């Protein structure tokens, strides 16, 4: 296979972890006889410093022409919330321009890392959940106003926006335990009442084999740490999904472990770890690259259709963890480069991909 992959390191630890993800992609290509053309481009704060824009036209053009995008992280104190141009605007624009409306965030717990989680080990047994977060609507994209004494952010959703993300969740649930939890705040918000009605209609009509339950977001936040193994596929709006998945990262033991895929109606997608730019540790070589490398596995699976290679990458990460190649966030002493190299070694010594 020949594939074009845009590589956007971004800010802070983003370039450090993406470097390891790119190395894994090249190792997969070499082992499987593929040709992956990796092209780097600026985004976020680095792009602001260079061009004045968080998403330069050249970067957007590269992403449009690529089969997939490997993304690091953006932001930092240099470009704070009050700055007129902010790194986050680049990522939001990229999602909007490419129509990446569904964000997939899987959460599993490696038994060897259970001690890194603040939850009791018995609560973590069997945790295997997937959050499907709507990514291009809601309060993040709504009309915004600001005066010296007041501010507003409009949260709005159309039935069509809800339908398409619920369909993504339904299709994924069919290949899992066929249980969908739709998360909203229907006791307070009109958008949530519409969300609940549409979710009910879509699942009943199109996924009758799936069990659907509705849960208020505050209750869901509590249940994620009380009975996380009960969840299968959760589908929710933009802001709720953002918050809940950061909370869910404690289940795995570190936010540095969790990958994500942002998908649209087209073939390409954007793949990134869910963590931020972590400017406090940037440049120290201690960032955890496993979330980025697991995002590479999702890239191989969802954008390139290479299921065997995706599974091989996931096994290689587990092998590196089994060898106790752990970065400081997991209680280890490995550097970012050492963790990435351990995954590449595990790939290289594994049996050839069928």
Please report, rounded to a whole number, the percentage of residues in the chain having pLDDT higher than 90. Answer: 95
- Provide the pLDDT confidence category of residue 67 given band limits of 50, 70 and 90: very high
Mean pLDDT of the 284-302 span: 98
Mean pLDDT of the 236-259 span: 95
Query: Is 241 in the same domain as 293?
Result: no
Last residue of a domain, which of 252, 267, 291? 252
- What pLDDT was estimated at residue 262? 97
Q: What is the pLDDT of residues 9-28, one digit of tens each?
A: 999 999 999 999 999 999 99
Query: Is 260 in the same domain as 231?
Result: no
Q: What is the pLDDT of residues 79-95, one digit of tens each?
A: 988 888 999 999 999 99
Query: Is 95 in the same domain as 149?
Result: no
Say if 75 falls within a structural domain. yes
Query: Is 270 in the same domain as 352?
Result: yes
Say if 161 falls within a structural domain. yes
- What pLDDT was estimated at residue 266? 76
Best CA proximity match to 29, nearest among 66, 62, 2, 69: 2
Our count of domains for the chain comes to: 2
Last residue of a domain, which of 224, 252, 280? 252
Whether residue 242 has pLDDT greater than 80: yes
Q: Mean pLDDT of all residues in the chain? A: 96
- What pLDDT was estimated at residue 351? 74
Say if 110 falls within a structural domain. no
Last residue of a domain, which of 252, 286, 305? 252
Cα 324 from chain centroid (whole Å): 24
Query: Is 242 in the same domain as 262?
Result: no
- Token output for 339: 């963790």
Q: pTM (2 decimals)?
A: 0.94
Say if 111 falls within a structural domain. no
Say if 309 falls within a structural domain. yes
Q: Which domain holds residue 199?
A: 118-252
- What pLDDT was estimated at residue 352? 64
Query: Is 219 in the same domain as 294?
Result: no
Query: Is 215 in the same domain as 268?
Result: no
Query: Is 221 in the same domain as 153?
Result: yes
Query: Is 263 in the same domain as 243?
Result: no
- Provide the pLDDT confidence category of residue 353 given band limits of 50, 70 and 90: low
Q: Tally the C-alpha atoms within 13 A of residue 299's C-alpha that lie toward its C-beta.
A: 30
Looking up residue 130, the CATH number of its domain turns out to be 3.40.718.10
Quick one: CA dihedral 25, 29, 31, 32, positive or negative? Answer: positive
User: Do residues 259 and 291 touch, judged by C-beta distance below 8 A?
Assistant: yes
Best CA proximity match to 307, nearest among 315, 2, 17: 315
Q: What is the pLDDT of residues 30-63, one digit of tens each?
A: 999 999 999 999 999 999 999 999 999 999 999 9
Query: Is 96 in the same domain as 131?
Result: no
Best CA proximity match to 170, nearest among 236, 233, 103, 260: 233
- What pLDDT was estimated at residue 354? 52
Say if 187 falls within a structural domain. yes
Query: Is 262 in the same domain as 181?
Result: no
What amino acid positions are annotated as catalytic residues?
140, 185, 218, 242, 246
Within 10 Å of residue 216's Cβ, how many Cβ atoms? 16
- Provide the pLDDT confidence category of residue 77 given band limits of 50, 70 and 90: very high
Q: What is the pLDDT of residues 156-205, one digit of tens each?
A: 999 999 999 999 999 999 999 999 999 999 999 999 999 999 999 999 99
- What pLDDT was estimated at residue 82? 84
Say if 106 falls within a structural domain. no
Query: Is 203 in the same domain as 260?
Result: no
- What pLDDT was estimated at residue 80? 86
Query: What is the C-alpha to C-alpha distance for residues 290 and 234, in angstroms, rounded to an integer?
Result: 23
Say if 154 falls within a structural domain. yes
């Amino acid at each position: 296979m020949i594939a074009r992959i845009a590589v956007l390191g971004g800010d802070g630890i983003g370039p450090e972890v993406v470097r390891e993800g790119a190395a894994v992609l090249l190792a997969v290509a070499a082992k499987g006889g593929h040709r992956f053309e990796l092209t780097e481009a600026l985004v976020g704060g680095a792009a602001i410093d260079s061009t004045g824009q968080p998403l330069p036209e050249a970067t957007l053009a590269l992403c449009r022409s690529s089969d997939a995008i490997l993304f690091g992280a953006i932001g930092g104190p240099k470009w704070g919330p009050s700055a007129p141009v902010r790194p986050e605007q680049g990522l939001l624009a990229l999602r909007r321009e490419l129509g990446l409306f569904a964000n997939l965030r899987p959460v599993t717990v490696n038994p060897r890392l259970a001690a890194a989680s603040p939850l009791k080990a018995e609560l973590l047994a069997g945790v295997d959940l997937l959050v499907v977060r709507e990514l291009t609507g809601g309060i993040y994209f709504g009309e915004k106003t600001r005066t010296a004494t007041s501010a507003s952010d409009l949260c709005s959703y159309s039935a069509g926006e809800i339908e398409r993300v619920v369909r993504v969740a339904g299709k994924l649930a069919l290949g899992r335990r066929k249980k969908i939890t739709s998360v909203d705040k229907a006791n307070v918000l009109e958008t949530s009442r519409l969300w609940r009605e549409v979710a009910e209609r879509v699942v009943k009509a199109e996924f009758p084999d799936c069990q659907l339950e509705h849960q208020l977001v505050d209750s869901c936040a509590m249940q994620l740490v009380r009975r996380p193994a009960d969840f299968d596929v959760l589908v929710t709006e933009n802001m709720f999904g953002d918050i809940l998945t950061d909370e869910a990262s404690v289940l795995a033991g570190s936010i540095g472990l969790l990958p994500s895929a942002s998908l649209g109606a087209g073939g390409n997608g954007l793949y990134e770890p869910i963590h931020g730019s972590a400017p406090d540790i940037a440049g120290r070589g201690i960032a955890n690259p496993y979330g980025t490398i697991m995002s590479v596995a999702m890239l191989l699976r969802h954008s390139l259709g290479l299921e065997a290679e995706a599974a091989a990458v996931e096994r290689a990460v587990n092998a590196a963890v089994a060898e106790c190649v752990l970065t400081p966030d997991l209680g280890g002493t490995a550097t970012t480069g050492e963790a990435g190299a351990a995954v590449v070694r595990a790939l290289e010594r594994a049996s050839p991909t069928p």
